[in-house]
């Protein structure tokens, strides 16, 4: 039985008259990377701010490793490291002094641990320079180093790849996977970059308008949406025949239908009989992107 590191129950937040978070439930297990996926303004950052105790939920409960964030704040925070939005550090201090600053706020963090995290994020060469001379990527790294100081069981990262170049993104991804797989850490990552979530996470919650629309493993979310791309000639006639069996969509020279292991051969035979030539039958998993657009209803339009 894996330990639950974060459990959120019926979390709500109202600001003024608007209910921004409308009741969110989820759990995170040890060693799991959990993705928080949603369009702009969905409420990802607001939820994360409640998780780390920056804002008070209107109702609901949050437990980190069994400790209630409101009642046992310090105990809960000892188990957690986080970056909320950008990793804002003191620009007038060196990277090392920034780490020292946050190490002093934690029990039992000594210089050996500080050296460890610096090495972990690969900042050795510049750690004694002032943070204002750092690039955005270096700040992200320092932010991670800072979040790792207390060897947390739970790491919460709001848009961790913000401002990283492709190499940096890949490195960050590998880094997060390593933390989860080798150190058994649970990681909560929020993002609106689907590719990133798809490659990084074990499970995803899709959130929109302050509600979780779907929570599932990445594979099962995707497999319900497998489709077939047909390239046939003549395309008009092919479309006519296929639409008599199932729903179709036309995409330039392709006809797209759902994938159904048993039915597809029949459809194919019917096409052949009618003298339609089938050039290509392509089975495709949709990107999370399509899924995302599908469940969030197109995405565009901030409420």
Partner 1 sequence: MNNLVQNEMMKLLAKKRLIIIGLIVGILVLMFTYAQYKQVEEQREKLGTDDWRAALQQQIIDTQNRLGSNRMLDEWREQLQVSLKQQQYYLDHDINPSEPGAATFTRMFLENAIDLFIPLLIMIVASDMVSSENSQGTIKLLLTRPVERWKILLSKYVTLLLSVSIIVAVTALLSYLLSGIVFGYQGWGAPVITGFELKGADVDVSQVRLVEQWKFLLMDLGLVWLVAVVVGTLSFMLSVLVRSTPAGMGIMLAALISGAILNNMVSSWESAKYFFMVNLKLTAYISGTAPPIEGMTLLSSVITLLVWWALALIVSFTVFTRRDVY
Q: Which pair of tokens denotes residue 113? A: 């641990």
The residue from 1, 17, 18, 104 that contacts partner 1 (CB under 8 A) is 104
We find the least distance from the C-beta atom of residue 45 to ligand ATP, in angstroms, to be 3
Asked if 238 and 213 count as a contact pair (C-beta separation under 8 A), the reply is no
Using CB under 8 A, count the residues that bind partner 1: 32
Q: How far apart are CA 232 and CA 254, in angstroms?
A: 8
Rounded CA-CA distance 193/196 in Å is 6
Rounded to 10°, the helix 95-103/136-148 angle is 20
Binding string, residues 20-59; x marks residues near partner 1 by CB under 8 A: -----------------------------x--xxxxx---
Burial class (CB in 10 A: 0-12, 13-18, 19+), 162: middle
Q: CB nearer to partner 1: give 3 or 90.
A: 90
86 binds Mg ion (CB under 5 A): no
Q: Does 146 bind partner 1 (CB under 8 A)?
A: yes
Judged by CB under 8 A, which of 105, 250, 269, 274 binds partner 1?
Answer: 105
For residue 40, say if its preceding peptide bond is cis, omega within 30 degrees of 0.
no
Cα 257 from Cα 244, distance rounded (Å): 12
The residue (of 69 and 84) whose beta carbon lies closer to ligand ATP is 84
Q: How far is the CB of 97 from partner 1 (least distance, A)?
A: 7
Rg (CA), the chain: 24
Q: Specify the stretch interacting with partner 1 by CB under 8 A; choose among 88-96, 210-218, 245-253, 266-274.
A: 88-96
Helix (H, G, I), strand (E, B) or coil at 253: coil
Which residue's CB is nearer to partner 1, number 64 or number 212? 64
3-state secondary structure of 92: coil
CA-to-CA separations, 115 to 97, 103, 110, in angstroms, rounded: 12, 12, 9
Residues 162, 136: Cα–Cα separation, whole Å: 9
Number of residues in contact with ligand ATP, rule: CB under 6 A? Answer: 11
Tokens of 99: 């780490």
Nearest to 294 by CA among 159, 194, 160: 194
> Is 84 within 8 Å of 158 (Cβ atoms)?
yes
240 is a site residue for partner 1 (CB under 8 A): no
For residue 193, state whether it binds ligand ATP (rule: CB under 6 A).
no
Pattern 35-74, Mg ion, x by CB under 5 A: ----------x-----------------------------
Minimum distance of ligand ATP from residue 2's CB (angstroms): 28
The residues of the shown chain that bind ligand ATP, judged by CB under 6 A, are 15, 20, 38, 40-46, 192
The residues of the shown chain that bind partner 1, judged by CB under 8 A, are 49, 52-56, 73-75, 77-78, 80, 82, 84-86, 88-93, 97, 100-102, 104-107, 146, 150
The residues of the shown chain that bind Mg ion, judged by CB under 5 A, are 45
């Amino acid at each position: 039985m894996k330990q639950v590191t974060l459990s959120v129950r019926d979390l709500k937040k109202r600001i003024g008259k608007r209910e921004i978070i409308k009741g969110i439930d989820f759990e995170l297990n040890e060693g799991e990377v959990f993705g928080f996926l949603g369009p702009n303004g969905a409420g990802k950052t607001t939820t994360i701010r409640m998780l780390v105790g920056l804002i008070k939920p209107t109702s609901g409960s949050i437990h980190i490793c069994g400790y209630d964030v409101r009642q046992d704040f310090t105990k809960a925070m000892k188990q957690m490291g986080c970056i909320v939005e950008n990793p804002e550090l003191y620009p007038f201090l060196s990277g090392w002094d920034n780490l020292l600053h946050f190490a002093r706020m934690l029990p039992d963090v000594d210089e050996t641990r500080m050296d460890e995290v610096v090495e972990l994020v690969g900042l050795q060469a510049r750690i004694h320079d002032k943070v204002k001379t750092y690039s955005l990527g270096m700040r992200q790294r320092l932010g991670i180093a800072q979040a790792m100081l207390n060897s947390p069981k739970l790491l919460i990262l709001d848009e961790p790849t913000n401002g990283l170049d492709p190499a940096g993104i890949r490195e960050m991804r590998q880094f997060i996977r390593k933390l989860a797989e080798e150190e058994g850490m649970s990681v909560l990552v929020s993002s609106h970059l689907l590719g990133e979530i798809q490659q990084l996470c074990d499970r995803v919650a899709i959130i929109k308008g302050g509600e979780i629309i779907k929570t599932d493993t990445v594979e099962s979310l995707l497999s319900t949406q497998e489709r077939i791309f047909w390239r046939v000639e003549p395309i008009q006639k092919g479309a006519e025949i296929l639409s008599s069996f199932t729903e179709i969509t036309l995409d330039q020279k392709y006809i797209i239908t759902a994938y159904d292991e048993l039915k597809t051969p029949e459809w194919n035979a019917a096409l052949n009989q009618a003298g339609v030539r089938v050039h290509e039958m392509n089975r495709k998993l949709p990107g999370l992107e399509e899924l995302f657009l599908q469940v969030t209803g197109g995405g565009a339009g901030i409420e």
